[in-house]
Structure 1
């Protein structure tokens, strides 16, 4: 998803106004002495000024106080809201219909919209996950980036990819995906996203009780005993996953027992055909 054309145009108009103000306050590139000259000027100079904005966040507040361009209150509030900017390195994890998922420090997960273009049109799906440097900003109750994404040529192994995926899934499960810096909007989104989970404990307990009667009889095929053990180990893992989803050590212990049971079953199957 991206901003409407009207909101994207507004975003860039306000951003250029703020950047020009910061340029003037810091005395940078005096030859760019009008807003038009700045907007049409050298992109490298604009990049330096862009960085200066985030290096001097007090000037955002100063712009909002002075209102040098005589903005209306709504537009002034948008610029004032940029004091909440989040600047740093993120992992762009996936594209969804409603936003692109950014995973930041402490596994905070953000839902970010594109500006004039969908982010997916700029960074295709096959390039994900991608490590990027970005500045995230609020506008009209959603989160966007400031127009620049700097990517790093890093290759992620399976373990890292899995950790990014789990960060997203955990945030989704808990209703903690940050889709707005507006606390009221975020609270509403979180309440809508966080759905009560079904209690599977009674079902798993009943299956566990039934599984205990599984026994391989004398003369039964070599696969029976290991297969029954695999069923019991799998149910034990399911029970741990439901009752102690945050206990990674317990989950790994049960997982290893499933793997051991699976290996024994594999040996039993081979024995059938020996």
Structure 2
């Protein structure tokens, strides 16, 4: 679930040089070496944000090649223009990678490798909300080493909704393990309808899509009533249990 040591060293070798280039280009801090850059600590975050605010600088770095990198190394850096930046749910840790869940529309599940320490050992409650940047690296997805966490306690209802979103993401796209991801969801209309109806949140978000699916194929009305009947039955059972 972490990068091999030789790949980890290669990543930092390239990434710190890119950050140093960005710093010099935009004159953010008075540093001119990798060692001085590492000592900036919080300043590194400013440089990193500048990089992703204007990602064309990645291709400028590749064209200029100020550090005499090899063709293979330049290819790795060039691929970083396909980064994914945003908020994710660090949803679960598997043997091969951790699942970073993008709960946008549609949801996507990324299989992400840690750099030095497994995500399961960094002291965060899982699942938890994080903000980071995902990068392609030698056919895998890693994060850029900087992660903002949020002190949010997730209750059982939220965890249940996240589980539904994870299953929806897996059904639509599988686990995404490389970038850029250009795949399209391959689902029948009936499968889409069942996914859209799964949770209250999903039904609200996809209300128009649900209506359109049934309009296009009236036979799906039977599926709609079946699923809503199951939902009503589960709700009724919960109410009975709560009443004792």
Judge same fold: TM > 0.5, yes or no: yes
Partner of 2:35: 36
Q: 1:263 to 1:149 in 2, by over 3 A?
A: closer
| Deviation at residue 49 of structure 1 after TM alignment | 1.3
Q: Residue 47 in 1 paired to residue 45 in 2?
A: yes
1:173-192 → structure 2 map (5 Å cutoff): 173-182=171-180
Contact (CA 8 Å) 1:109, 1:167: kept in 2 or not?
A: no
Contact (CA 8 Å) 1:100, 1:113: kept in 2 or not?
A: yes
SS of alignment partner, residue 98 of structure 1: coil
Contact (CA 8 Å) 1:141, 1:182: kept in 2 or not?
A: no
1:52-91 → structure 2 map (5 Å cutoff): 52-91=50-89
Which residue of 254, 262, 265 corresponds with 2:230? 254
CA RMSD of aligned residues (A): 3.0
| Alpha-carbon distance between aligned partners in 2 of 1:174 and 1:56, rounded to the nearest angstrom | 31
| Alpha-carbon distance between aligned partners in 1 of 2:93 and 2:234, rounded to the nearest angstrom | 34
| Alpha-carbon distance between aligned partners in 2 of 1:242 and 1:21, rounded to the nearest angstrom | 48
| Alpha-carbon distance between aligned partners in 2 of 1:254 and 1:70, rounded to the nearest angstrom | 63
Partner of 2:210: none
| Alpha-carbon distance between aligned partners in 2 of 1:56 and 1:100, rounded to the nearest angstrom | 28
Q: Mind listing any 5+ residue stretches in structure 1 that lack a counterpart? A: 195-240, 265-274
| Alpha-carbon distance between aligned partners in 2 of 1:254 and 1:110, rounded to the nearest angstrom | 31
TM-score between both structures, scaled by the size of structure 2: 0.76
Contact (CA 8 Å) 2:108, 2:170: kept in 1 or not?
A: no
| Alpha-carbon distance between aligned partners in 2 of 1:262 and 1:55, rounded to the nearest angstrom | 48
| Alpha-carbon distance between aligned partners in 2 of 1:121 and 1:258, rounded to the nearest angstrom | 37
Aligned length: 210
| Alpha-carbon distance between aligned partners in 1 of 2:63 and 2:139, rounded to the nearest angstrom | 22
| Alpha-carbon distance between aligned partners in 2 of 1:157 and 1:261, rounded to the nearest angstrom | 21
| Deviation at residue 242 of structure 1 after TM alignment | 8.7
Partner of 2:15: 15
Partner of 1:121: 121
Partner of 1:146: 144
Contact (CA 8 Å) 1:113, 1:145: kept in 2 or not?
A: yes
Partner of 1:222: none
SS of alignment partner, residue 135 of structure 1: strand
| Alpha-carbon distance between aligned partners in 2 of 1:145 and 1:243, rounded to the nearest angstrom | 31
Contact (CA 8 Å) 1:137, 1:143: kept in 2 or not?
A: yes
SS of alignment partner, residue 177 of structure 2: coil
| Alpha-carbon distance between aligned partners in 1 of 2:6 and 2:93, rounded to the nearest angstrom | 23
SS of alignment partner, residue 100 of structure 2: strand
Of structures 1 and 2, the larger Rg is shown by: 1
Contact (CA 8 Å) 2:91, 2:101: kept in 1 or not?
A: yes
SS of alignment partner, residue 10 of structure 1: helix
| Deviation at residue 36 of structure 1 after TM alignment | 3.1
Higher relative contact order (CA 8 A, sep 6+): 2
| Deviation at residue 35 of structure 1 after TM alignment | 2.9
